[in-house]
């Protein structure tokens, strides 16, 4: 902010951090930044309407900070929470601040360390008046792509947190899909780390161009500085196969279940992280449980191309699931979220930035009411052209004992979505058998129940029966 000419005041409970920030501003060109070690002095240093951005750990620290700040705020001031917060907490905080006339904004921020300094993707949700006051600052500080800032007004309070939450869920899916592609190529294809690095670097010049593919190519070629005399040890091979997480992926899966939105790619990625955490159990199980002893022979170049196509097709499914969840939450909460704009502001600064977001944006510009990316004409053509490669990869993985939960989940999602008829008819019959839950028929209207143990004698339309007509 200071770099873009805005006068900035900062405050932190740790005086050393305030001093460090002030010194850094001086070192980077005498930027207009003033440090404060007292909350009241900090708040009163700001011109009205005050615009205060909180960047602390989600949960109680946010509540404590808001309490300390709001005591010195006045009507019309704006407080922005820029953390990864559970959206109901933002709804609660906005309601608590409303009697004081303080406007509250929940704003997702993505970009990691680099984005935070050079321009992140900013996802604000809150009162329109608050966004209008913040907009001149946000459009300057956000990442810029094709001359446009990677920020927009997403909707009322909660929408910004929600979009950022789903962004993180898609990020989980992307990372797991890339890990599975790496695993299949390494185990079934026998590619070395150097070869894998070259493959991912090449992929980053095509349809898979993205931040995560770019850094994967770099990671795979990084040698281990701690290997001593052995110069051929790669760092990735020395990293423990145990993935951490901060909770946003779990929130996405929880929300998908609450809103009846299928998200198998993202769900599988979360399960993969849970299972990775069972390192000690997996080591024991590896000595007890059997799998295939031989890997089927493959054409290496064909496998590389198949995995590329499977990865792209799976990414389409993952993004479709995330955007469907945003749309459903928007409908249920009264947020008028533009999914094309979500794709646009994810193009720069953020972790899931990718070239194909342009195509996602175009799909929703063309049809704002699009039910799924899978049935957009362009994406449907892509999926139809790739599904045989996709199936070969999943089949090879199964035959080789290589777990590919997100590849498999994505393919199953595709196959279920394209089926006009599913075996759910049998499931409905079972539910009616043991619980009397009734079922619908394909040949007539209404809900029906059958006395299954009485010669399959149907007692007919439930509504008619309840009225005494049956």
Which pLDDT does position 32 carry in this prediction? 87
pLDDT band at 118 (very low <50, low <70, confident <90, very high): confident
Structural tokens at position 203 = 């992929």
Q: What is the DSSP track for 310-324? A: HHHHHHHHHHHHHHH
**H helix runs in 401-441, sequence order:** 405-417, 424-435
Give the pLDDT mean for 444-468.
70
Which pLDDT does position 468 carry in this prediction? 44
> Which CATH number fits the domain that encloses residue 455?
1.20.5.320
Structural tokens at position 299 = 């054409």
Q: Nearest Cα to 338, choosing from 361, 320, 321?
A: 361
Burial of 2 (0-12, 13-18, 19+ CB in 10 A): middle
Q: What is the pLDDT of residues 402-450, one digit of tens each?
A: 999 999 999 999 999 999 999 999 999 999 999 999 999 999 999 999 9
Which pLDDT does position 459 carry in this prediction? 52
* 67 appears as a binding residue in the annotation: no
**What is the rounded distance in angstroms from the CA atom of residue 408 to the CA atom of residue 387?**
12
**What is the rounded distance in angstroms from the CA atom of residue 55 to the CA atom of residue 16?**
17
Give the pLDDT mean for 321-329.
98
Q: What is the pLDDT of residues 187-232, one digit of tens each?
A: 999 999 999 999 999 999 999 999 999 999 999 999 998 887 677 8
Structural tokens at position 285 = 């199980």
Q: What is the pLDDT of residues 88-115, one digit of tens each?
A: 999 999 999 999 999 999 999 998 777 6
Residue 5 has pLDDT above 90, yes or no: no
Domain count across the chain: 3
Picking from 130, 157, 184, the residue at the C-terminal end of a domain is: 157
Picking from 157, 178, 210, the residue at the C-terminal end of a domain is: 157
Q: Is the torsion defined by CA of 171, 308, 343, 413 positive or negative? A: negative
Give the pLDDT mean for 61-81.
95
* 155 appears as a binding residue in the annotation: no
369 and 443 share a domain?
no
**3-state SS class at 367:** coil
**What is the rounded distance in angstroms from the CA atom of residue 259 to the CA atom of residue 329?**
7
368 and 248 share a domain?
yes
Position 13 in a domain: no
368 and 442 share a domain?
no
| Residues recognised as catalytic | 164, 171
Strand 33-36 to 51-54 pairing: unpaired
Position 27 in a domain: no
Do the beta carbons of residue 318 and residue 167 sit within 8 Å? no
* 437 appears as a binding residue in the annotation: yes
Give the pLDDT mean for 64-72.
95
Which pLDDT does position 328 carry in this prediction? 97
Position 29 in a domain: no
Q: What is the pLDDT of residues 348-405, one digit of tens each?
A: 989 999 999 999 999 999 999 999 999 999 999 999 999 999 999 999 999 999 999 9
Distances (CA, A) of 168 to 269, 348, 352, 383: 11, 15, 8, 24
Percent of the chain with pLDDT over 70: 96
Position 345 in a domain: yes
Element (H, E) at 180: helix 159-187
Which pLDDT does position 179 carry in this prediction? 99
* 72 appears as a binding residue in the annotation: no
193 and 134 share a domain?
no
175 and 287 share a domain?
yes
**What is the rounded distance in angstroms from the CA atom of residue 346 to the CA atom of residue 150?**
7
> Phi, psi (5° rounding) for residue 217?
-60, -40
318 and 223 share a domain?
yes
338 and 436 share a domain?
no
Position 19 in a domain: no
Structural tokens at position 395 = 């089949």
206 and 354 share a domain?
yes
pLDDT band at 13 (very low <50, low <70, confident <90, very high): confident
137 and 211 share a domain?
no
> Which CATH number fits the domain that encloses residue 227?
1.10.1040.10
* 454 appears as a binding residue in the annotation: no
Element (H, E) at 137: helix 128-141
374 and 409 share a domain?
yes
**What is the rounded distance in angstroms from the CA atom of residue 327 to the CA atom of residue 350?**
20
Residue 50 has pLDDT above 70, yes or no: yes
| Predicted structure pTM score | 0.92
> Which CATH number fits the domain that encloses residue 66?
3.40.50.720
Structural tokens at position 317 = 């499914």
Picking from 157, 186, 219, the residue at the C-terminal end of a domain is: 157
Residue 470 has pLDDT above 50, yes or no: no
Q: Pick the residue with more confidence: 392 or 26? A: 392
Burial of 198 (0-12, 13-18, 19+ CB in 10 A): middle
Structural tokens at position 62 = 């946010």
* 112 appears as a binding residue in the annotation: yes
**H helix runs in 188-276, sequence order:** 193-203, 211-221, 248-258, 264-276
Residue 297 has what DSSP assignment? P
**What is the rounded distance in angstroms from the CA atom of residue 349 to the CA atom of residue 212?**
12
Where do we find the tokens 């069972």? Answer: 278
Which pLDDT does position 2 carry in this prediction? 80
Q: Look at 30-34, 294-298, 334-338, 402-406 and tell me which has the smallest mean pLDDT.
A: 30-34
Position 39 in a domain: no
Position 370 in a domain: yes
Which pLDDT does position 369 carry in this prediction? 95
Do the beta carbons of residue 262 and residue 255 sit within 8 Å? no
Position 26 in a domain: no
251 and 282 share a domain?
yes
**What is the rounded distance in angstroms from the CA atom of residue 169 to the CA atom of residue 177?**
12
* 167 appears as a binding residue in the annotation: yes
195 and 335 share a domain?
yes
Q: What is the pLDDT of residues 229-283, one digit of tens each?
A: 677 899 999 999 998 877 889 999 999 999 999 999 999 999 999 999 999 999 9
- Domain interval for residue 429: 424-466
Which pLDDT does position 217 carry in this prediction? 98
Which pLDDT does position 469 carry in this prediction? 41
Residue 25 has pLDDT above 90, yes or no: no
How high is the mean pLDDT of the chain?
Answer: 93
């Amino acid at each position: 902010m200071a770099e873009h000419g805005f006068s900035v005041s900062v405050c932190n409970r740790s005086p050393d951090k305030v001093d460090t920030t002030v010194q850094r501003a001086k070192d980077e060109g005498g930027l207009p930044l003033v440090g404060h070690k007292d909350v009241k002095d900090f708040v009163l240093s700001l011109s009205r309407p005050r615009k205060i951005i909180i960047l602390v750990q989600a949960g109680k620290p946010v509540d404590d900070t808001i309490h300390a700040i709001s005591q010195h705020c006045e009507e019309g001031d704006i407080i922005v929470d820029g953390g990864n917060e559970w959206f109901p907490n933002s709804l609660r905080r906005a309601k608590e601040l409303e009697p004081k006339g303080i406007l509250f904004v929940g704003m997702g921020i993505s970009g990691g360390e680099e984005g935070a300094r050079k321009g992140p993707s900013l996802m604000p949700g809150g009162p329109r008046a608050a966004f209008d006051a913040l907009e001149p600052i946000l459009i300057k500080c956000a990442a810029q792509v094709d001359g446009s800032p990677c920020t927009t007004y997403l909707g009322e309070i909660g929408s910004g947190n929600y979009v950022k939450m789903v962004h993180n869920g898609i990020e989980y899916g992307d990372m797991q899909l890339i890990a599975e592609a790496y695993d299949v190529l390494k185990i079934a294809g026998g590619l070395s780390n150097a070869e894998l690095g070259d493959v991912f670097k090449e992929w980053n010049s095509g349809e898979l161009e993205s931040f995560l593919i770019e850094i994967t190519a770099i990671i795979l070629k990084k040698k281990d500085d701690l290997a001593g005399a052995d110069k051929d040890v790669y760092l990735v091979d020395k990293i423990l196969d145990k993935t951490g997480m901060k909770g946003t992926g779990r929130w996405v899966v929880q929300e998908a279940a609450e809103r009846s939105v299928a998200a198998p790619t993202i769900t599988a990625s979360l399960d993969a992280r849970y299972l990775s955490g069972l390192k000690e159990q997996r080591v024991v199980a590896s000595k007890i449980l059997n799998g295939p002893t031989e890997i089927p022979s493959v054409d290496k170049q064909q496998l590389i191309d198949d995995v590329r196509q499977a990865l792209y097709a799976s990414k389409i499914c993952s993004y479709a699931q995330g955007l469907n969840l945003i749309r459903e939450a928007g409908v249920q909460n009264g947020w008028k979220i533009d999914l094309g704009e979500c794709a646009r502001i994810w193009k720069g600064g953020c972790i899931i930035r990718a070239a194909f977001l342009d195509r996602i944006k175009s799909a929703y510009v063309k049809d704002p009411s699009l039910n799924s990316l899978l049935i957009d004409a362009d994406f449907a053509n892509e999926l139809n052209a790739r599904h045989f490669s996709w199936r070969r990869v999943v089949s090879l993985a199964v035959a080789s004992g290589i777990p590919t939960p997100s590849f498999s989940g994505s393919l199953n999602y595709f196959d279920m979505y394209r089926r006009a008829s599913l075996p759910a008819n049998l499931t409905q019959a079972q539910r009616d058998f043991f619980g009397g839950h009734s079922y619908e028929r394909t040949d007539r209207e209404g809900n029906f129940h059958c006395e299954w143990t009485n010669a399959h004698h149907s007692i007919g339309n439930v509504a008619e029966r309840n009225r005494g007509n049956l």
